[in-house]
Amino acid sequence: MIIDEIVDETLNLLGEDVDVVDMGISLSYTYCIVEGREGSALGLAHTTYDKVFHGLRSNYLPSIHEIPRLISSWKLIEKTVGLALLNAISQYILFNKRLYRNLPGKILIGKDVLDSMKIHKKSKILVIGYIRPIIKKLQERGYRNIYVVEREPPTRFEEIYSDLALPRISENIDIVFITGSVLANDTLDNILRYTEGAKKIIVGPSAQVLPQLLTKYGLYIIGSIKVEDIQRTAEIVRRAGGTRAILKYSEKYVYMR
């Protein structure tokens, strides 16, 4: 699967021993902090778990060598921890080791995805995952052809469809916004297959993986965050804080191939 290939490429790019120094899981997000010669980095993943949640196998800190096992696990909570750890290493490579200076595409620090691209007013837009900030901004800017699919659609919104409808809804779509959470639940491969002809954008704190690796698979824009204050962000996550609270101590960035 794509995420497994990204894991292998990321670990090959690391080139040094990095320690996992902290990890936390809350109802909103999961975080991992890694530390190496170039300092520390924090990776995030939206917490995804089964309806029957029995926790992790053990309470020790995982090592970076366990990422392939965690990512390929059948347990969603283990996959979530694997993604948070992969994101921490990716952020370490991208910013601590300054890979962002030599990327094949363009990285815009401090920019928002919707302010970095042009969308025709008549475009048919698909949003995969209930990404409320994206949906709200699109509606405020006058876009009307917006379709939203979600694994478990909230019943209070009639215009949100189950992801079982993706094969049909995705027909003739022009632009797709994808939540970074798809990296943890093994749905990215199918999404890319059904939206082959559309311009695809992946967004959110969970999309902190090395952006040039994602663009290899047809993703056009990656929008995520760089955590600036690691300890405050970790504290927010431990207290079940959401994206808005995390953004107070982070900086958005956009990568365009």
Q: What is the pLDDT of residue 146?
A: 94
Token match 């990404």: residue? Answer: 131
In a domain, 235, yes or no: no
Phi-psi region of 75 (alpha: psi -120 to 50; beta: other; left: phi over 0): beta
Backbone torsions φ then ψ of 96, nearest 5 degrees: -65, -40
What contacts 24+ positions apart, CB below 8 Å, involve 149-155? Answer: 151/185, 154/130
Question: H helices then E strands: how many in the chain?
Answer: 9, 11
CA gap 210, 100 in Å, rounded: 9
Clarify whether residues 94 and 132 are in a common domain: no
Clarify whether residues 92 and 121 are in a common domain: no
Amino acid making up residue 108: L
Quick count: other Cβ atoms within 10 Å of Cβ 95?
Answer: 21
CA gap 101, 247 in Å, rounded: 23
Task: Give 10-residue mean pLDDT values along the chain (257 residues).
Answer: 97 94 95 97 92 68 94 94 98 97 94 93 94 93 92 66 90 96 95 95 98 95 98 97 96 95
In a domain, 24, yes or no: yes
Q: What is the pLDDT of residue 129?
A: 92
Backbone torsions φ then ψ of 253, nearest 5 degrees: -145, 155
Clarify whether residues 67 and 114 are in a common domain: no
Q: What is the pLDDT of residue 125?
A: 97
CA-CA-CA-CA torsion sign (163, 167, 172, 173): positive
59: CATH: 3.30.390.100
Token match 């090959």: residue? Answer: 12
Clarify whether residues 115 and 14 are in a common domain: no
Clarify whether residues 136 and 60 are in a common domain: no
Q: What is the pLDDT of residue 151?
A: 80
Clarify whether residues 9 and 93 are in a common domain: yes
In a domain, 217, yes or no: yes
Clarify whether residues 214 and 124 are in a common domain: yes
Q: Which domain holds residue 37?
A: 2-101
129: CATH: 3.40.50.11590
In a domain, 239, yes or no: no
Q: What is the pLDDT of residue 158?
A: 57
